[in-house]
Amino acid sequence: METPKIFESEYRFACIVWEHEPIPMRELIKLCASQLGWKRTTTYTVLKRLSERGILASNDSVVTSLISKETIQRQESREFIERTFEGSLPGFIAAFTNNKALSPEEAAEIKKMIEDYEKASNQK
């Protein structure tokens, strides 16, 4: 199943749900008002759209996610790299690090991710 597309304002809304789920609708409306400046009707509208696309669900006035934040982030990252860097992860990393120095911890984390990927690939 393909992960549904999520837009910026929907993502910010979903982040509130992911952080607090399961979350009663009343509390979600208050959080959206304070964090996003939304009216109750906007919260209901966005929830309806995300529910129709299978990202969130509302049962008995309690909102939960059907797709994890990590799944959405992976999909959005892939689409961004495909669209902007013609699918080149090294091209993305080069552009990302061009004007920003990586800390030794960040460099070590990236190196470990590559090593873990290589180990997993060799086990197949």
13 and 50 assigned to the same domain: yes
Q: What is the pLDDT of residue 103?
A: 84
Q: What is the pLDDT of residue 55?
A: 96
13 and 61 assigned to the same domain: yes
CATH number for 23? 1.10.10.10
Token pair, residue 37, equals 């400046």
63 and 93 assigned to the same domain: no
54 and 102 assigned to the same domain: no
16 and 55 assigned to the same domain: yes
pTM of the model: 0.78
Q: What is the pLDDT of residue 51?
A: 96
Residue 15 has φ and ψ, to the nearest 5°, of -60, -40
Its domain, for residue 14, covers 8-69
Q: What is the pLDDT of residue 1?
A: 62
Pairing of strands 62-65, 23-24: antiparallel
63 and 16 assigned to the same domain: yes
* Average pLDDT along the chain, 124 residues, taken 10 residues at a time: 86 98 98 98 97 96 96 91 89 81 85 88 79
